[in-house]
Structure 1
Amino acid sequence: MSSPANTAALVTVVMPSFNQGRFIEAAARSVLEQDYPALELLIVDGGSTDGTLPCLERLLGVFGNKLRWLSENDSGPANAINKALQLARGEFVGWLNSDDLYAPGAVATAAAYLTAHPQTVMVYGEAEHVDETGMRLAAYPTRRPPVAPETFQEGCFICQPSVFLRREVFDTVGLLDESLATAFDFELWIRLFQAFPERIAFIDHLLARSRLHADCITSSQRRLVAIENIRILGKHFDYAKPHWMLTYVEELYASYPHGSDSSALQANVQAALNEVESSLQERDFIQLKDLIARDARFQLALPGLFAGVYSDGWTPPQLLIRVRGTGAERVLLHCDHCRPDLRPLRLAVRASWGDAFSLTVDKIGRFELAIPVPENYVETNYAIIVDSLDAFVPEHSDAESADERALVCKLLRVELSPAS
C-alpha cells in the first residue's frame, strides 16, 4: 500500500535569503513543520555574514533531506529566486521570503486545490501583515478572480507568500526579471494574468503572513518600489496611473526628515519624477508634477525640515514641525492670521528639549513665531509642536463651504537659522 508521501505531489518552497538571521529560523520552520507529506524547502542564500548559515546547519540536522540550501554570491533576490526555481524538483512551487511565514496548513491547502483542478496554474489566498514580533497588523488587501490584468494599475492585490504555482508555468512566462530590484513579483503576476486569465484561482483561506519591519524591501525602498511599479505598468499596458508616485510622496511627507530617507525632500521628489516621466502619459505627468508643486507641504519643506500643514498651507489645531540636524539657532515660522471671524489666536508651543511657551495673536495679518534652539542641544532629530484651541471649521461659518477641516492660520514660510 502506498504512503501519502508517495502519492502526494511534491511541493518545493523556494526561499531567498541574505542576512535575515533574526527571522529565517521562524520562516523555515513555518515551511518544514507543515502537515504535508511531500515537501522540500530550498533556500538560496546570498552569502550571509550574520547567524544565518549556522542556523541552516542546525535545521538540516533536525529536518534532514526536507531541507536543501546553498550559499553563494548573487546579484539580488530575483537572481536568488531564479536559481532556486531552476533547482526545484516539485510539481508545485511556493515562494516564501526568509522574513515571512506560512500559516499552518497552507501547503496542504494549496496542493490539494492544484491537484483537484489540473487546469489551474496559480493559486493565491488570504494573507496578513505582521510586525517584527509576529503580531498581526492588518489583513492584506486581496482581490479575488476573475480580475482583469489592468486591475494591477490600482495596486498589487496579491500577497506574494500566499502564491503557489505549477513549476511548468515558468516554461511559458519565463523566470523573474532580474533587472528589477524590488517589484519582480509584481511584474511576474502581470505576466501570469496576461498569459492565463482563466487559469488563476483564489483560495479563501489564510495562507501566509508577510512581515513588515524597517529592513524589508516593502518598507526600506519605497521610492524604488514606486518607480519600478510605474515602469512595469508602462511596459505592459503602455501607460501607468500616477497614483503610485503620489502614494510615495505622501509616505515621504509622513516621515521626512526623521525617516530612513532624509535626503532633501524637494530634490528627492524631483529626481523620482524624472525617472518615471517616460512611463506616464504626458497629460498625467504634467498634472502630477503640478499637483506636487502646488502642495504647500512640498513648497515649505527645507533640507532637514518638514511642516505638517494641509496641502493649501492652512495649519491644523496641532502643527508638527520635524527637524533633523544640529547647529540650528532657531526655527522661524512666518504665519498669516486670516481667519474670517477675526478672533485672536491662542497658541501653545512646545519643543523636544522641554521648552514651552504660550502667546496670543490679536491682530489679523502676518506674524512671526520664533522658537530658539538651545546651544547645547545635540539630538539629531527633534520636533516642535504648536497647539491651538481656536480652530475654526469653514463649513460652520460659510453656508457655501463644504470644508470640514479644523483650521488655525496659514503658514507662509519657514526658516531654519544656523547658529552664528
Structure 2
Amino acid sequence: MTISIITSTYNSAATLKDTIESVLSQTWTDIDYIIVDGGSTDETLQIIKQNESRFHGKMRWISEPDEGIYDAMNKGIAMACGDAIGILNSDDVLFDNRVIERVAKAFENPETDCVFGDLLYVSRTDLNKIVRIWKGSPYEKGCFSKGWHPAHPTFYVRKEHFGRLGGYDTSLDISADFEFMLRYLEVHQLRSAYLPYFMVKMRTGGVSNGSVKGILTGNQNIVKAFRKHGIPVSRFYMPIRITRKACDVIVSKIKLLRQKN
C-alpha cells in the first residue's frame, strides 16, 4: 500500500523543513511524496533540493506558477502514483511517526474508501504549544448540515475515486476542501473510517481562519458548496457551525488546563 502525500508550497521556507522532517520520520516507508511549488522566491526551492536525496527517489517536485493552493493540490493529485492520497500543507506536520502506518493499515480493509482522524491546532511559532483540539467522530449521513466535517489535513482517499469524482473546485477561493469532502462523503457516500488518533499538527493563521475576511469568505463558500449539490441550507446552519466551533474551543481549553494541573 503506497500512500501519496501532497504538499503545496509558496514561499514556505519558514515552515517547510518541519513538514518534510515529519514525512521522513514515518515508520511506513512506502510513501510517494509530492511537492507542488507555485514559483517561490525565497529559500523554499533550496530546502526542497537539499532534502530530495533523503527520500531515495520517493519524492518528486515541480515549481511553476499556479492559480492558488487548490490548483496546486489538483496538480499533485495528477502526479500521484499511490493507492491513496492525502494533503499535508507546508506549514503543518504529521503528529507522530506512525500516522501513515495507521492510514495504510486502515486501507487494508477493501471496503474503506477514505480515512480521517483528529487534529491539533498549534502556535505558529511553537509546534508543542497546543491552541485547540479538533476531535473528530465517525461520519453519519446528514451531519455536514449540522456543522460537522472532517479535518481536511487528516483526510485520505483511495486514488481510484479521483478520476470518477474529480479534484478540488478552484472556483471556490476558500473552502474548496469543504466542498471536496462534502462531495465525497455526503453526495457520493464513500465508505469512511474514522481513526481516533491525532494525525496532524496544524499551525494557526491559515487563509480561511486567519482573518475576519477569510472567515466570512469561507462561510459564504460553504453555503455555495451546499447549493452546488442541491443540499438545503438551514438559516440556522451558520449559528450552529459557530456554536459548535466555540464549544470545541471551550472544551479544548478545559482539557489543556486539566493537563497542566
TM-score range, shorter chain: 0.7 to 0.9
For residue 44 of structure 1, report the CA deviation from its aligned partner: 0.3
Task: Report what 1:139 is aligned to.
Answer: 133
Classify 1:142/1:68 alpha carbon distance in 2 versus 1 (closer, same or farther; 3 Å). Answer: same
Which residue of 138, 161, 166 corresponds with 1:174?
Answer: 166
Classify 1:50/1:154 alpha carbon distance in 2 versus 1 (closer, same or farther; 3 Å). Answer: farther
For residue 243 of structure 1, report the CA deviation from its aligned partner: 4.9
- For 2:39 and 2:63, locate their aligned partners in 1 and report how far apart those are by CA, in whole Å: 5
Task: Report what 1:384 is aligned to.
Answer: none
Are residues 1:219 and 2:192 paired?
no
What does the per-residue CA deviation read over 1:354-411, in whole Å, with 9 as the maximum and x for residues that have no partner?
Answer: xxxxxxxxxxxxxxxxxxxxxxxxxxxxxxxxxxxxxxxxxxxxxxxxxxxxxxxxxx
- Alignment-mate amino acid for residue 219 of structure 1: G
- Taking structure 1 as the reference length, the TM-score comes to 0.53
Query: Are the equivalent residues in 1 in contact too, given 2:136–2:196 (CA < 8 A)?
Result: no
Classify 1:137/1:112 alpha carbon distance in 2 versus 1 (closer, same or farther; 3 Å). Answer: same
Task: Report what 2:111 is aligned to.
Answer: 119
Query: Are the equivalent residues in 1 in contact too, given 2:187–2:229 (CA < 8 A)?
Result: no
- For 2:112 and 2:188, locate their aligned partners in 1 and report how far apart those are by CA, in whole Å: 9
Moved over 6 A (4+): 247-250
- Alignment-mate amino acid for residue 162 of structure 2: F
Q: Which moved more, 1:241-250 or 1:60-69?
A: 241-250
Classify 1:244/1:74 alpha carbon distance in 2 versus 1 (closer, same or farther; 3 Å). Answer: farther
Which residue of 174, 177, 183 corresponds with 1:185?
Answer: 177
- For 2:13 and 2:59, locate their aligned partners in 1 and report how far apart those are by CA, in whole Å: 17
- For 2:42 and 2:184, locate their aligned partners in 1 and report how far apart those are by CA, in whole Å: 35
Query: Are the equivalent residues in 2 in contact too, given 1:102–1:161 (CA < 8 A)?
Result: no
Query: Are the equivalent residues in 1 in contact too, given 2:84–2:158 (CA < 8 A)?
Result: yes
Which residue of 93, 97, 105 corresponds with 2:89?
Answer: 97
Task: Report what 2:42 is aligned to.
Answer: 50
Which residue of 210, 222, 231 corresponds with 2:224?
Answer: 231
- Alignment-mate amino acid for residue 217 of structure 1: S
For residue 154 of structure 1, report the CA deviation from its aligned partner: 2.7
- Greater RCO (Cα-Cα under 8 Å, separation 6 or more): 2
- Taking structure 2 as the reference length, the TM-score comes to 0.84
Query: Are the equivalent residues in 2 in contact too, given 1:131–1:211 (CA < 8 A)?
Result: yes
Task: Report what 1:69 is aligned to.
Answer: 61
CA RMSD in angstroms, aligned pairs only: 2.1
For residue 103 of structure 1, report the CA deviation from its aligned partner: 1.6
- For 2:233 and 2:224, locate their aligned partners in 1 and report how far apart those are by CA, in whole Å: 8
Query: Are the equivalent residues in 2 in contact too, given 1:121–1:165 (CA < 8 A)?
Result: yes
The count of aligned residue pairs is 238
- For 1:247 and 1:48, locate their aligned partners in 2 and report how far apart those are by CA, in whole Å: 39
In structure 1, list runs of 5 or more residues that go unmatched.
1-8, 251-420
In structure 2, list runs of 5 or more residues that go unmatched.
244-261
- For 1:94 and 1:42, locate their aligned partners in 2 and report how far apart those are by CA, in whole Å: 10
| Sequence identity (%) | 26
Are residues 1:158 and 2:150 paired?
yes
Higher strand share: 1
For residue 126 of structure 1, report the CA deviation from its aligned partner: 1.6
